[in-house]
Chains A and B, each alone.
Chain A
């Protein structure tokens, strides 16, 4: 069967990232980053909810046979201890959509900028780096209005969620709630918008496998 080659779509890397999120494959900081994006910008929620529905349907169809789902030996003990659990106070936890740092990220970095351990990288650029987790490295980045970040490439895929202000690089302009995905090939020099400081949550994941033109590094590694 012949297949007409399709031009790469700009959202191919995004689709892959969202699908890995839905399936539960991302490390915590990146899972939090994608969740934060979905909280701030509802545009991709339906797509992700559809993929989550697929995951849940699969659970339903596959588990009962083929010994994939062994009986839970401690069933009765588990039930007993669950029934003994105090009912939680029944207040719905509301999301801090209006706060600067959305809930899924504030559990990692807190929600008070003044309490974060900022380190000055260069004039106009501060960083608060979380402890590394394997190949995954996360940080809050604060760029002064109008400043450009130093030109840089990265080893893995770098994913940025804008929390405040906006920035522009060769791939486009990004505002609060937007996700930017950059692979190792992109030598980019993001510049913060004039008039407002730009604060982002950035995760660099050397182990992340996205498809398409945004993840050429993988193709280089695997040779196709």
Chain B
């Protein structure tokens, strides 16, 4: 299995030297995974292929827009695939603009260390996720990735309904707190 770093190097090779072999490796790694995601969310195989082709074309033509300090290539491609699937109803070809690509507005008075920290978002984010116990993560996955209702989760896990609800609530507030502690913040707003 390719490591995060190897994948990052392949993307660099695509961005810098239009390396087709590197692109094919990325395609073979992410293609089946993204396609599985698209089908799981309800795309039929033909449209899943079409969306996948769009997503991988974006990687081929716009890999220079990928910023490894902001997110991993997996998360970047995931966002493009997700947005594209939701946006297939629109006819025109304007790309859906993902908010994570929006310029970060950093307040003037924020100290330099903090600014540097913000550069390595995904590392900080992964650290923050690690404080959640596996059980809470799996409840979040069931509730939001699999879109199961709380009572379906209660049935599946054998946990009382109230416990399902409170653990999800707890996991979210823990995650928010930890993100704050780890300095994964987007300071300021347009005003």
Contact = CB atoms under 8 A, between A and B. Distances in A.
Contacts of A9: 169, 173
Interface residues of B, number: 89
B177 to A, nearest CB: 11
Interface string A62-99: 11100011111011001101110111101011110110
21 contacts: A6-B169, A6-B170, A22-B144, A31-B87, A43-B186, A45-B99, A46-B179, A51-B140, A55-B82, A59-B33, A59-B78, A63-B37, A72-B35, A78-B31, A87-B61, A88-B62, A95-B101, A102-B97, A104-B96, A104-B97, A211-B168
A75 B53 CA distance: 10
Contact of B97 (A35, A43, A50, A87): A35
A151 interface: no
Contact of A6 (B60, B92, B166, B179): B166
B179 A82 contact: no
A211 B138 CA distance: 17
A20 B140 CA distance: 11
Interface in B57-91: 57, 60-62, 64-65, 71-72, 74-75, 77-79, 82-83, 85-87, 89-90
B157 to A, nearest CB: 13
A60 B173 CA distance: 26
Interface residues on A, range: 35 or more
A81 to B, nearest CB: 7
B100 A45 contact: yes
A85 B60 contact: yes
Contacts of B77: 56
A15 B172 contact: yes
Given A98-B190, A104-B96, A211-B168, A50 B175 contact: yes
A52 interface: yes
Contact of A50 (B23, B92, B128): B128
Contacts of A28: 86-87, 89-90
B20 interface: yes
B30 to A, nearest CB: 8
B152 to A, nearest CB: 10
Given A42-B188, A211-B168, A47 B149 contact: no
A107 B94 contact: yes
Given A35-B96, A59-B74, 12 more contacts: A3-B160, A23-B144, A25-B144, A52-B78, A59-B34, A68-B36, A72-B32, A72-B52, A78-B27, A82-B60, A102-B97, A107-B90
Contacts of B85: 24
Contacts of A48: 99-100
B11 interface: no
Given A50-B179, A60-B33, A88-B61, A97 B190 contact: yes
Interface in A188-216: 209, 211-212
A75 B27 contact: yes
Nearest to A92: B65
Nearest to A32: B96
Given A39-B99, A222-B149, A12 B169 contact: yes
Contacts of B125: 46, 49-50, 53
Given A15-B172, A19-B140, A103 B97 contact: yes
Contacts of A71: 32
A35 B102 CA distance: 10
A86 to B, nearest CB: 8
A220 interface: no
A156 interface: no
B104 to A, nearest CB: 7
Given A25-B41, A57-B74, A42 B104 contact: yes
